[in-house]
Amino acid sequence: MNKIIFLLLLILIISCNSSTKIEIQNDNIKTSELETFQSKSLKENIPYKIIFPENFEIKKDSLSLLVLLDGDDYSGIAENVTSLYEFGDKIYPTVIISLPSTKESRWTHYTPTKDTTKIEKGFEDLYSRTGKFNEFADFVGNELIPSVENKYNINFNQKTIFGHSLGGLGVLSFAVLRPEIFENYISASPSTMYDQHFIFKTIEKNGNLNFNSMFITAGLNDANGYRENVVWLNEYLDKHKSENQKVGMKIYDNENHSTSGLKSIIDGIEFIGK
């Protein structure tokens, strides 16, 4: 708890002393303007933002990547936490790709199947959009990340993805269905009950998962099975992981489904480490 308070105070100080637009020294690379990527995989324009670490050019040989699902909610805290942890030598210098979302895009891009089994009343339109995760993964893995690497001449030494709730389901979908894109995963209160626990059934069918580090969380007050599902996943991964794989779980005493993401990204970035 003291660590969280300390980090938040430092973040507040940094935020108060920073301009809203940051430029990489000697490169004039703005890190706070939203750009648009015309995706062939998704056949739509996808907004994104890139945040570079300080002195980016001289750190190119040691850069990590952090992709944020629901990036508009978490890019500010992620930017400040990565800066602090890099200064404290806990993590490598980190480039952040922030992917903002809408209610519609979350249901479209983060869901691994088109669920028609249990459509809740009032959610018919959202369920009709589901099941385009694979196209979204193609966009992230084959279009967006290579474009950033080529444009800025970067070869990332490790890649991590973060998401919360439906975004947490998206993170696990990358780990289970498209493990070639990322090595590390931070999944906060994931919606694993989607489509009758499709993602859990696929994990059990596949057996072992291919990852370096997996950090999963929930709030103690996470209702509707979120907490119990995270506990089950942690036990399964602990049982089936290899010696070189790192699995971490936290259940936050005073958090619920809406609030678990903040502490998850702070602790998850530290857990991934170097």
The pLDDT score that the predictor gives to residue 244 is 94
The pLDDT score that the predictor gives to residue 15 is 46
Which band of pLDDT confidence, cut at 50, 70 and 90, is reported for residue 1? low
Q: pLDDT tens digit string along 64-89? A: 999 999 999 999 999 999 999 999 99
Q: pLDDT tens digit string along 94-130? A: 999 999 999 999 999 999 999 877 777 777 888 889 9
Q: pLDDT tens digit string along 146-202? A: 999 999 999 999 999 999 999 999 999 999 999 999 999 999 999 999 999 999 999
88: domain CATH number is 3.40.50.1820
Report the Cα 91 to chain-centroid distance in Å: 16
The pLDDT score that the predictor gives to residue 119 is 72
Q: pLDDT tens digit string along 8-54? A: 554 544 444 443 333 334 444 446 578 999 999 999 999 999 999 98
| Domain that includes residue 180, residue range | 2-272
Cα–Cα dist 98/50, whole Å: 6
Q: Specify the number of domains making up the chain.
A: 1
Q: Lowest mean pLDDT: which of 52-56, 158-162, 244-248, 255-259?
A: 52-56
Q: pLDDT tens digit string along 200-240? A: 999 999 888 999 999 999 999 998 899 999 999 999 999 99
pTM of full prediction above 0.75: yes
